[in-house]
Every structure is written in structure tokens, then in C-alpha cells.
Structure 1
Amino acid sequence: MKAPVKKAQAKNKTPPAVQGWRFAFVLVSISAVFVALIARAAWLQVLEPDMLVTQGDLRSLRVESGQVMRGMILDRHGEALAVSVPVQAIWADPKEVIERRAAGDERRWHALAEILQLTPQQLADRIGDNPQRRFVYLQRQVNPAVVDYVRKLRVPGIHFRQESRRFYPAGEVVAQLIGFTNVDDVGVEGLEKRFNDLLTGTAGRKVFRKDAKGREIEVLEREDAQEPTNIQLSIDQRIQAVAYRELKKAVLSNGAASGSAVVIDVYTGEILAMVNSPSFNPNNRRNTPVYRFRNRAITDTFEPGSTMKPLAVLSALEYGSANLDTLVDVSPGFMRIGGSWVRDPNNYGTLSLTGIVQKSSNMGVARLVLEVPQQHVIGLYHNVGLGQDSGASIIGESTGIFSFRQRWSDFERATFSYGYGLSVTAVQLARAYATIANGGINRPLSILKVNEPEPGERALKEEYAQAMLEMMEASIAPGGTATRAQIQGYRVGGKTGTARKAVAGGYGDDYIASFAGVGPISNPRLATVVVINEPAGDFYHGGEIAAPVFANIMGAAMQLLNLPPDAHTLPRITAVRGGQHAG
């Protein structure tokens, strides 16, 4: 009876059987998890670590940039013509604005919109409803009063950023020459654009790492700021102001479309003044027509008319077909060339070279030039600076229209001698007259102040250049075409120009009146050109409109430069009796 009991007890002590598939599943699962973790770790840290590095940098790496103001533009005496002033920009963080429900505070929101000259809805549209955006400008270059008002509103998500704004103390007096910058402080017109790289500079930059509390713990990269360069121009602000005042007055009083004036130092080639009218206020360009931005003194070309006659006479002297004692028979005051007429307003009979310039005789210069090969005349014009860049390197400068063709009719040669058939700019014409005043030495012009002038090249014989100064002085003496160019106490000389404006198919009824001159004659220092475009009314000759402007500008300039007077009375140089002006 006892044996069966022991067998049952032995059977109950048998260990339970292990189910193999469950064990295998758990083992494989655990192994797979570990393999996946190791693979992921290897992938992130060995094969593709950039994502983690990027995420870490986003949380700890910061870049800090300093601000560098744009360089100044100064005149030759250090007077500021363009400066940068610190201002601020107002910007918004759309994510912060949305999350903090800034638009929900209607009083503050409406006040912000009003000061920004927007409606509340326009302000909301500008910020948008995309929480992923983190930056949007609301207004640039804001004045301090507006910034203080917005700051006091304490609208969530509205922030401020330091920037600079360009200011032009001389305003419209130098507007077309200096140009201006855009809202990002980049030069887009005039000298601001020409010297943008020098004026801009480079801001300093520091790359560093911070800890969780925002403290700087490591500087990874540092770049020092490169200060901008201040540009010192050849312009004399005093002469510039006088020239602009006189030119503006002449344009308005004569109902002209526009005008330009240029003053050059003949010794150095420096441009002391370059003005245009009408001008504009570069500090407030709103609603200003784009055409007013143009620097007409270097961009607009015109047929120079009788201002070319001194060069035509010089071409005959240089070629040798005439000498200083040559007399030219211009009677009966007109002649027919190739089916067209060349005329003087009167029959001057026989004229000396001085008389030709003084009376502005078309007949005289035509007869002289017809004795000279045309290529020699063109070559002399080119040598004194016409048909080429002036050397000032101002953006937008035109080289004019200057034909180098081989075949010319006699009538074309005749009209070429008194300023038709070519186009020049005011700056080119001023350079040509500066060459005469400088004893025949042609120097490139400069808009920057120079310490040592370039040597230049001889374009005219000194003897002939000096003789031409005396001929041009006769032009403003009694009996000449430009008596209104006289300046009390100074000997000056020059030549008037009156040319019809070309239109499709010929010439119209509009004129360009000009005057180009130099002074003082005893020791030439300045060359000045005045151009008045499309004067209205009965007066349109250069001697009536442009010559008085020349006298006012040149007289003031010589006094400002402390040039000693060289005459108390004007010489009375005459070649013939009577006659009306032709130029």
C-alpha cells in the first residue's frame, strides 16, 4: 500500500519543461533592440553626425556682428557732403506675435498701426499668420521719436534693430553729383555708387559658444572690423554753392528746361564745381521724377556751336595754313558751299584771327578750316579732350558723338568748324578750354582731391595757346559777342555758343545757349562752362543768357580762391567796326 504513494510524490517533484520558442522570441527581441540601438548610435555618431552637431549648434552657437557706419564724403576742405547717422528699424517676430496674441490688445495694436501709417488689417497682413516665420520688417530707418513711441507701446513680438541712414547736408546743391544710397545703405547713384566698395567697409564678426545660462564659454572665430574709407573730393563746396545758385536763377528766369555748369582748376585738372538744374532733395526723394537724378554735366551731349571756333582757329595755326598775322576776307558775309549757305550776321570785310573770334564769324572759321585736312582738325579736337572720357571716372559719363569717318563734304567741314556735326558734354568742353588755359597741356580731370597733378600731354603749342587766350579776351571786350561776361577787376576770356537743337530730319526751333571761358588771363587758374538748355522767350544767345552766369560764377570763384585782380579796366581790343554777334 505504501509504494504507490512514493511514486506519486516523485512524479510531483519533476521540474517544469521550458518552452523553447518563447525563450527564443525574447532573446531575439532583446538582441534586436540592442542591435538597433547600436546601429542608430553608430549612424548618428559615425556615419551621419552632422544633424546632432547642427542641433547642438542651434542651441549653443551664436554669431555676433558689429556695425560699421558708411564712410563720409568730404569736399576738398573737409566739409561733409554725405554722412551716416544712426537710426533704427522696427521688425516683428510673427511666431511671438501669434503665440502671445498681440493683436488681441486692440488699443496697443491700433496705436502701432497708426504710427506706422497702416491700418490694423494691413499691419496684420504684413506680419502674416505663419508661426514658422521669425522675422519681418515693419519699417526701416525710423526716426527716434517714432521708435520711442513704439517702444512704450510694449507690443509683444515687436523689436528694434540698429542701422544707419545717409544724410546730405548740402542737399540739392550736390544731389546729382553725390547721388544717394538705398534703404540698405548701398550706393545706387552718383559717387555713392562709384565709390561704394570704399565707403562700405566690413563689420566685425565673432562666433562663440554659450552655456544653458547664456554665458560665453568659448570663442570659435573672430574677425576684426575693417573701417570704411572717407572720400575727399576735389569739389570746393563754396564754389559749388555759388555755381548752383547762379545756374538755378538763370534756368528759372529764362524759363529753360535745364542747365549745367562746371568749374575746373586748369593746373591740376580738379573739378571744383559741377552743378545741374533742376535738382532734387536727396534727403527726401519721394515723388521725385527719375530724370532729375541724371548728372547732366556728364551725361547730356549737345552740339557746342560757336564755342568750337577757338579750336578751329587753333587747328589752322597748328597745321601751318595760318599764322598769328593772317587776315581772312569774309566779305560779302555769306558763301555757298555744296548747295548750302554759310552766313555771318554782317559783312565784316577782312578779319584778323582775333577778329574772327571776337565777332564769332562763321565765314572766318569756315575759310580757315577748309584749308586744313579734316583729319587734322578732328585730331586736334580729340587731343584737347573731345570724344573721349574726361578721366574723372564718374558713372554715366558720355564720350559724346564724334565722327572719325574719312569722307567729308566741304559743307560738313565748314559747319564742323563752328560746332555742328559733333556732340560734347559740358565736362568735355571745360577740359578743352582748360587745356588752352594751361598753355596747351591736356590733363585728365579728377573728381578726387589730388596732391600732385598728372604731367599731362602737350596738345597745343604754348605760343598759340597764349595767343588764343588774348583772342578770347577780345570776345568779351566792347565789340565782342560776350560783353556781359566781363568781371570787374579781372581779365577773363571765353567764347559764346548758340546752337539749334537737332530733331528728326533736321533742326527744330529750340536752342542751347552756352559759354566757355577762362581766367584770370594774366595767370589762368580756372576754366568754366555754362550750358542753358532750351531757354524760352526772345533771348536765347549764349552771350545774353550763359555769359552773365559765367561772370557771376567765375567772379565769385576767383575771389573765394583769393586770386589777385589782374586788371582794373578791360582792354579795348577791336578788329572791325560795328556788327552784331553770331554766336
Structure 2
Amino acid sequence: MRSCNDIMRGRIRFQALLIVLFFAYLIGKLYCEQIRRHDYYYTEARNKYVTSKKLKGVRGEIFDMHGNLLAGNMPCQNVSVTPCNIKAQDDEKISRLIAETLGLDYEYVLKRVSLKTRTVKDESGKVLTLPLKYALIANNIHLEDARYLRQVLKKHSLARNVHFEDTFTRYYPKGTFLSNVVGITTRNQGSNRGEMGLEKRFEKQLRSDSGKKTYMRSLDGWQVGDKPLQEVSSHDGSNIFLTVVEPLQSILEDELDKAWEKFRPRAAYAVMIDPATGNVLAIAERPSFDPNDRKSLDNSAFKIRLISDIMEPGSIMKPLTVAGALECKAITPDTVIDCGNGTWYYNNRPLTDTHGYGRQDVTGVIRKSSNIGIAKIGLMMGEQNLYNSLRKFGFGSRTGLPLSPESSGIFHPVKRWDGQTITRLGIGYASACTPVQMARAYCALANNGKLPKLRLIDRTVDTESGKVTVMPPAEMQQIYPPEVIQQVVKMMIAVTEPGGTATRAAIPGYHVAGKTGTSHKVANGGYVGKYFASFVGFVPAEKPAFVLLVTVDEPKGAKFGGTVSAPVWKAMAERALKYMNIPPDVPQDESKKRH
């Protein structure tokens, strides 16, 4: 029989074993929780007491040549709430105050405010319900509107869980001014992203890089301590300065608006270029849009017609054809062409002039804009010479402007010509180009045969370091001898003098070299009764300050380049000469005789 002591010792051993097992379990549990699940608990604690805040950089701005702002950043605020901290009985009142003050839909705001929780899955896949601490109500709210909302909420003692975050929105201070070229941005995950125009093309240079600040926070969300745990700085985008000069741009836009009202066309274009540098001084088109009014934008706004729309240029091609004929010695300025009675047949197809011009020297052919005369010059040149001479002006190739999408136009090689092409190409048919391509080609006429590469960006500036990067002009290509070009320029001056087709482009005191163009529009494989009316020229003729092209697409009430576009060109050029302080190049006595 066991003694009492044996029984007692057994009980003590059993109790000791239980204690050992308990502590072994406890140690195992602690090991599992503290060691094996350390990362999990660390993450949970960090998520509760450590938070990060995105540090936003500022997008680069766009300026004209002289620093006038075209696209900038406007300070504004985003409005958000902490739904889980808002009492249910206050949901409707807060929602109504926010909706009425900011002009938002009440049901939308109420839905955001009244949703108090969110569901997530933990590492085991278990669904957890957590309090919802953030809900965005509206972004890019003007500071005055945000300030007024804050006052309204404070008045009703409901401001505690409504938050205002400082940010920026893209702003275009001049509205429609140069809007097709500058472009527009679209909000993308809280950041401005270029959507079209220069905003899109130079997204890499303009965009900012966001940073991040990580810090300890208290239970009510405030930062603990003066210094963050970690901070990665944000970086602002670079500023871009264009070659465009705002006063010249204003002149083109103003006169284009007048033409828009007078002729009610489908579209209208104007581009001004410095032929000596290739700098685009002004570039305008209608219709345009206000990038600040995003709600009114449609897909048609996202297009730069000056580089994407193509047209058969018509008679503005003729001086370029003559330049080629002079260079290959198919003609001389004194060559006489029989333009006949106004109708001429080639390969059984008629070609007509407005009037019968009879026998004309080459200057007369240009002055009268004779289709028959230029067609016969094309025949004297031969197919390959005609093709090569016009190809050198850049037709069939993109201009290189930093805008997209840019069309290269239509300029078929000789092997794709039909029996009429040799008589049609030189007069501006059987090919198509953009307005900018034609303006660039005329720069070669204005610059003694040198074809420039167009410049739209003058420089970029790093806003943090101040480093200025200038975009140097590309080396120009001498495509024609100066003596040939000088002969053509003299012929073009005759176009704006008495007896020419563009007397309405003449400017008292100045020699104007230019050419009118009236071309049929193509639709469904044939010509329709609609036209492009153009005038392109430069002034002063001997030492041009600029090349200027004006094209009106489908003008109503008139159709000829000499009556539609030439007066618009003159109005633009006169104002530009005055702004640029270009002195007259015609003696006063001669000017009186001419006008």
C-alpha cells in the first residue's frame, strides 16, 4: 500500500509536469508569435502607426519666346473625408453642405460619406472588415471655393473629418490662344499627363517626379515628432520656351478670327516663319478650343490641322516649279510660253486658264498664274527633273516639327505617274501637302535657296538647377543656287503689282513677293465644288522678315486666293511689320506710282 508521502510526491510531480508543459506551450506560443509571425505583426503595427504621404512635384510650364506664360499651374485643393469618424446622423447634413457649396451631385457625395467600412483579406485569406479612413470627394477645387466650404462646415461644427489637400491643376491663362499647338493635359491618377500637342510631345520634360514622406502618426492621424522616418524628395518638371512670339501670334489669331466670321469656312490656317532661322514665329488655326473648358472638348479638338490636314496646293506650287526649270536650264526668265486662248489639250484631256493669256514670258506666266504656261514648262523639264526639283523643297517628307501626328503629304515617284501628272504636278495638283510643308518650302525662296529645319522649341530650363538647354538651329541645306532664287523672287513681286493676281496683298512702301492659290477639293475620288484659297509670301522681298502662309478651307461667298486669303495676309503682314519695326524698302516716289 502506498504511503501518504508517496501520494503527495506523485501529486507534486504531476503538478510540476503540468507547470513544465504550460511553460513549454507558452514558450512555443511566444516563439511562434514573436519569431515566426514577427513580420506579420510588425507590418500590422507599422500600418497602424506608420504612414506615408505622397510629395507632389510641379509640372513644368510652357512660355513663348519672351517668357509670356501659355500653360501654367494653378494652386487648388482636393477635398476628402474620413467616413469612419463621421457620425451616421451627420452623413446627410455634411453631404448636403458639400454638394451645395461645390455644385456636386448630392447622392454621389452621400454615397462616399456614408460608406464607413472596407473589406480586406489577411494572410490566411480571412475577410476582415476595417474602418474606411479616406474617401475622395472632389479634386482641383479653386482655393476660394475650398475656403468657403471650410467656413460653412465650421459654422455647423462639421469640419473635423473633412480634409483639404494642397495640389495644382493645369491652367491656360490665354484660353484659345495657340491652344491647338500647346495642347492639353488629362488628369491621370491625380497627376497632369499630356494628352495632345506640346503637352504630350514633351511629357518627359514637363512631368514632375513625386516623392514620399514616411512618418509615425498618433491615433488621431497627426505626425509624431519633427522629423519623418524617411523622405524622398519630389522633383519639378522643366519649363519650355517656344520660338513663338506672343504679339505676332495675337495678330494671326485676331485676323484669322475676322476671316472666320467673314467667310464662315470649314477651317482656316496661318503660319509665320523666320526663313533665316526656321523659327516658327506664330502658328494659328480655326476652329480652336479653350483647354480650360474640358467639358466642351470632343475628339475633333485633338488634332493640329496645320500639320495633319493635306491639300492639293494649287497655284502656290508654281514659283517652285519655275525655280526647278531655271536650275535645270529648261527655261530662262526671257523664255516665251504660248498660253493660248485659255484651253489646251494634253493626251486628250483639257487644261484651262481663267482667261486666254496668249504669249507670255515666264514672269507673265507667274503674274497671270497660267496653268497652261506652267504645264508646258513642266514638259520642257521632263518627268524626273520635275519630280526632283519639287522633292528638294521637302514635299513627301515631314517637316520635323515636334508635333504629332504629322502627315508627310502625298508625293508619288515618277513610276507611279499617269499620263497627265507631268502637266498637273507643277500647277499644284497630283500631289498634296500640309500648310506647314508649303510654308517651309517658301522659306527656301526667301532665304536664297536654303531650306531650313523648322524650330518650335527655343530652349528648356531646369527649374531646380536653373540649367538652360538651347535647341540650336539645324544646319540649312542649300537646295538651289542663290541666283536662281533671285530670279524667281523678282517674278513673285510682279504677282502683287498691278496686273498680278494678288494686288490685294500689296503693302505700300514694301516689295511683297508672293503667290495666290485656288485649288479644288477632292472627295470620293473626284473634285467637288469646294476650294482651298491660299496666299503665301514674304516681305520685304529682298530681305524678308518672315514667310507667311494663309489658307482658308471652303470659304463661303468667294473662292479665289487673291480675293479671300490675300487681304487676310496683308492685314497680318502690315501689323507684323509695324510690331517688328521693319522699315519700308520701296522709295516713296515709287510707292506712289505702284499704289
**Is the shorter-chain TM-score for this pair beyond 0.5, marking a shared fold?**
yes
Correspondence for 2:198: 191
Superimposed CA distance per residue, residues 259-304 of structure 1 (whole angstroms, 9 cap, x where no aligned partner): 0100001111010111111222222232244313422111211111
- Shift in Å, 1:119: 4.8
Correspondence for 1:446: 455
8 Å Cα contact 1:91/1:158 also seen in 2: yes
Q: Distance in 2 between matches of 1:429 and 1:551?
A: 18
Superimposed CA distance per residue, residues 461-515 of structure 1 (whole angstroms, 9 cap, x where no aligned partner): 1111111111111111111111101112221111111111101031111111111
8 Å Cα contact 1:477/1:570 also seen in 2: no
Correspondence for 1:459: 479
8 Å Cα contact 2:91/2:113 also seen in 1: no
Matched, 1:362 2:371: yes
Correspondence for 2:466: none
Correspondence for 2:280: 271
Correspondence for 2:79: 90
- Matching of residues 307-456 of structure 1 within 5 Å: 307-449=316-458, 452-456=472-476
Matched, 1:166 2:170: yes
8 Å Cα contact 1:478/1:572 also seen in 2: no
Matched, 1:257 2:245: no
Matched, 1:509 2:509: no
Q: Distance in 2 between matches of 1:521 and 1:12?
A: 133
- Matching of residues 460-475 of structure 1 within 5 Å: 460-475=480-495
Correspondence for 1:482: 502
Report SS of the residue matched to 1:474.
Answer: helix
Report SS of the residue matched to 1:463.
Answer: helix
The letter for the 2-side match of 1:138 is: I
Correspondence for 1:237: 246
How has the CA–CA distance of structure 1 residues 386 and 42 changed in structure 2, closer, same or farther, with 3 Å as cutoff? farther
The letter for the 2-side match of 1:94 is: P
- Shift in Å, 1:185: 2.0
- Matching of residues 290-309 of structure 1 within 5 Å: 290-309=299-318
Superimposed CA distance per residue, residues 422-448 of structure 1 (whole angstroms, 9 cap, x where no aligned partner): 111111111000111111111110111
Report SS of the residue matched to 1:307.
Answer: helix
Superimposed CA distance per residue, residues 167-194 of structure 1 (whole angstroms, 9 cap, x where no aligned partner): 2222212111111222332221211112
Q: 2:63 aligns with which of 74, 77, 80?
A: 74
8 Å Cα contact 2:75/2:142 also seen in 1: no
8 Å Cα contact 1:95/1:134 also seen in 2: yes
Matched, 1:140 2:139: yes
Matched, 1:182 2:171: no
Correspondence for 1:553: 572
Q: 2:98 aligns with which of 112, 127, 146?
A: 112
8 Å Cα contact 2:55/2:233 also seen in 1: no
Superimposed CA distance per residue, residues 371-399 of structure 1 (whole angstroms, 9 cap, x where no aligned partner): 22333323332322222121221122222
Q: Distance in 2 between matches of 1:64 and 1:469?
A: 65
How has the CA–CA distance of structure 1 residues 12 and 535 changed in structure 2, closer, same or farther, with 3 Å as cutoff? closer
Correspondence for 2:123: none
Q: Distance in 2 between matches of 1:28 and 1:484?
A: 115
The letter for the 2-side match of 1:541 is: F
Q: Distance in 1 between matches of 2:137 and 2:76?
A: 14
Q: Distance in 2 between matches of 1:461 and 1:248?
A: 39
The letter for the 2-side match of 1:230 is: N
Correspondence for 1:149: 148
Report SS of the residue matched to 1:172.
Answer: coil
- Shift in Å, 1:48: 4.7
Higher-Rg member (1/2): 1
8 Å Cα contact 1:497/1:514 also seen in 2: yes
Query: What is the count of residue pairs matched by the alignment?
Result: 558
Report SS of the residue matched to 1:473.
Answer: helix
Q: Distance in 1 between matches of 2:262 and 2:21?
A: 96
* Structure 1 range deviating more: 524-533 or 225-234: 225-234
The letter for the 2-side match of 1:166 is: R
- Shift in Å, 1:25: 6.9
- Matching of residues 121-140 of structure 1 within 5 Å: 121-127=107-113, 129-132=115-118, 133-140=132-139
The letter for the 1-side match of 2:109 is: L
Matched, 1:58 2:65: no
Structure 2: which 5+ runs fail to align? 119-131, 460-469
Larger fraction in strand: 2
Q: Distance in 1 between matches of 2:57 and 2:480?
A: 49
Q: Distance in 1 between matches of 2:202 and 2:458?
A: 14
- Shift in Å, 1:522: 2.0
* Structure 1 range deviating more: 176-185 or 84-93: 176-185
Superimposed CA distance per residue, residues 345-380 of structure 1 (whole angstroms, 9 cap, x where no aligned partner): 222222111111111010111011122233332333
How has the CA–CA distance of structure 1 residues 78 and 45 changed in structure 2, closer, same or farther, with 3 Å as cutoff? same
Q: Distance in 1 between matches of 2:457 and 2:26?
A: 70
* Structure 1 range deviating more: 511-520 or 221-230: 221-230
The letter for the 1-side match of 2:7 is: A
How has the CA–CA distance of structure 1 residues 503 and 112 changed in structure 2, closer, same or farther, with 3 Å as cutoff? same
Superimposed CA distance per residue, residues 247-269 of structure 1 (whole angstroms, 9 cap, x where no aligned partner): 11112101211101000011110
8 Å Cα contact 1:89/1:139 also seen in 2: yes
Structure 1: which 5+ runs fail to align? 1-10, 574-583
Q: Distance in 2 between matches of 1:340 and 1:158?
A: 78
Q: Distance in 1 between matches of 2:44 and 2:4?
A: 59
* Structure 1 range deviating more: 43-52 or 394-403: 43-52
The letter for the 1-side match of 2:5 is: P
8 Å Cα contact 1:73/1:232 also seen in 2: yes
The letter for the 1-side match of 2:389 is: L
Q: Distance in 1 between matches of 2:24 and 2:381?
A: 100
Correspondence for 1:207: 214
How has the CA–CA distance of structure 1 residues 50 and 343 changed in structure 2, closer, same or farther, with 3 Å as cutoff? same
The letter for the 2-side match of 1:322 is: I
The letter for the 2-side match of 1:565 is: P
The letter for the 2-side match of 1:266 is: P
Superimposed CA distance per residue, residues 526-548 of structure 1 (whole angstroms, 9 cap, x where no aligned partner): 111111011112x1100000011
How has the CA–CA distance of structure 1 residues 519 and 396 changed in structure 2, closer, same or farther, with 3 Å as cutoff? same
**TM-score relative to the length of structure 1:** 0.89
8 Å Cα contact 2:75/2:143 also seen in 1: no
The letter for the 1-side match of 2:517 is: G
Identity of aligned residues (%): 31
- Shift in Å, 1:112: 2.2
**TM-score relative to the length of structure 2:** 0.87
Report SS of the residue matched to 2:323.
Answer: helix
- Shift in Å, 1:14: 4.5
- Shift in Å, 1:551: 0.8
How has the CA–CA distance of structure 1 residues 12 and 63 changed in structure 2, closer, same or farther, with 3 Å as cutoff? closer
Correspondence for 1:580: none
Correspondence for 2:516: 496
